[in-house]
Amino acid sequence: MTHEIKNLLDLIWKAQQLGVKSVLATVVALDGSSYRRPGVRMLIQENGKTFGAVSGGCVEKEVQRQAQSVFETSVPKVMTYDGRFRLGCEGIIHILIEPIRLTEDLKAKFEKVFNQRVTFQSESFFAMEEGSDSAFGTQFIFNEERYSLREKFSPLEGNNCFKQTFNPLFQLYLFGAEHDTVRLCKAASDLGWQVIVVAAADEEKTKAFFKGAHRFITPTFEALDLSGIDAQTAVMLMTHSFNKDVQYLLALAKTKPAYFGILGPKHRRERVLEKALDFNPELSIEFLERLHGPAGINIGAESAEEITVSILAEILSVIRNQQPVQLKEKSGTIHD
């Protein structure tokens, strides 16, 4: 969710500089099941442009239509959409539609929490019934300081409140600069992850080679800065060089990412670990047991593109604490 709100805020700010008003639609409650869960957002601009989605496509036109009254009155409203008789949507969703204008101060606050990788929250106030009310709206909370999305908004006690927590942007460190790194970088970027590509200087590559990369760095092993690797980070070791994999593995031994994968077959992983232990017999069992190698889920992947799908699927299953199964075999709802 964090990358979605970041992208929408960037679009809102750019529109403001052009004098274009924006309205934000947020799913704040759900009765039954829907394509996406509460917390998803859609941006509507008065010039007719829309960004993001609150469903699989069956709700967006109605949201855009209902947003017109918010542009005209500047008063937020709640709409409901009953999808129980539509293919793929079997619930009633409640959507808060509100005008939004970013102040310089609020924009700076967002930039600070994104850059410093700090968790923050939001609270959206609404009623379950359809209607317009100036007491509806959203506030963001940074270290207990509240900021409203429009001027002179004060929530009314007694209204429903949808609370949401935003973790730091998820990031993926890719160690390597071969063709499969290019594919994985692009696909992870499409997921909204910040991708940092780490390569040796002798690879003779640039950031332009890796579409979607947030950063491209070529430090020596001794100068490698790993302070940015935190619990909202995945690491993939995929240099295609045995010696480089060993050196990076040793350098990463004290990091604690959410996921740590090693590309290649089991016998290669064992050789890498044996050599790393030769250099540092004190490598912790905990660190070694957290390694996913070969990285990926068994889907019969062969090409670089298919391997990318396999690896991303495993990362998602690990960070969301899910055991991969076919959805037709899963008991209960898709989104537990």
- Collapsing DSSP to helix, strand or coil, 44 comes out as strand
Query: How far, in Å, CA of 336 to CA of 333, rounded?
Result: 6
Q: What is the pLDDT of residues 287-321, one digit of tens each?
A: 999 999 999 999 999 999 999 999 999 999 999 99
pTM exceeds cut of 0.75: yes
The β-bridge relationship of strands 22-33 and 41-45 is antiparallel
Tokens of 196: 């940092």
CB contact at 8 A, 218 and 201: yes
For tokens 């790993």, the residue is 226
* pLDDT tens, residue by residue, 131-145: 999 999 999 999 989
**Domains in the chain, please, with CATH?**
2-166 (no CATH), 171-319 (3.40.50.720)
Whole-number mean pLDDT of the chain? Answer: 90
Two tokens at 130?
Answer: 């359809």
What is the rounded average pLDDT of the residues 30-45? 82
Helix spans in the chain (H)? 2-17, 60-73, 104-115, 179-190, 242-251, 266-279, 285-289, 304-319
d(CA 263, CA 265): 7
For position 327, what pLDDT does the model report?
72
What torsion do the CA atoms of 270, 275, 279, 284 make, to the nearest 10 degrees? 0
| pLDDT in the model for residue 178 | 92
Q: In this structure, is the dihedral angle defined by the CA atoms of residues 261, 267, 270 and 272, taken in order, positive or negative? A: negative
Residue 100 has pLDDT above 90, yes or no: yes
pLDDT tens-digit profile of 210-245? Answer: 999 999 999 988 889 999 999 999 999 999 999 999
Across 35-39, 83-87, 181-185, 228-232, least confident range: 83-87
pLDDT above 60 for 85: no
Q: With 80 as the cut, is the pLDDT of residue 86 above it? A: no
Tokens read off for 258: 């959410």
pLDDT value of position 137: 94
User: Backbone dihedral region of 50: left (phi > 0), alpha (psi from -120 to 50 degrees) or beta?
Assistant: beta
Q: What is the mean pLDDT of residues 22-40?
A: 84
Q: Are 35 and 89 in contact (CB under 8 A)?
A: yes
Instruction: Determine contact, residues 19/113, Cβ cutoff 8 Å.
Output: no
d(CA 204, CA 38): 45
Three-point CA angle 126, 154, 45, nearest 5°: 65
Q: How confident is the model at residue 87 (pLDDT cuts 50, 70, 90)?
A: very low
**Residues 130-179: tens digit of each pLDDT:** 999 999 999 999 998 999 998 888 888 878 999 999 999 999 999 999 99
Q: Which of 193, 189, 228 has the alpha carbon at shortest distance from 319?
A: 193
pLDDT tier for residue 77 given thresholds of 50, 70 and 90 = very high
pLDDT digits (tens, 9 = 90+) for 181-219: 999 999 999 999 999 999 988 888 899 999 999 999 999
Nearest to 294 by CA among 266, 257, 336: 266
Strand arrangement of the beta sheet that strand 233-237 belongs to: 215-217, 194-198, 171-175, 233-237, 259-262, 291-292
Q: Classify burial at 72, counting beta carbons within 10 Å of its beta carbon; exposed 0-12, middle 13-18, buried 19 or more.
A: exposed
- Residue-wise pLDDT for 106-123, tens only, equals 999 999 999 999 999 999
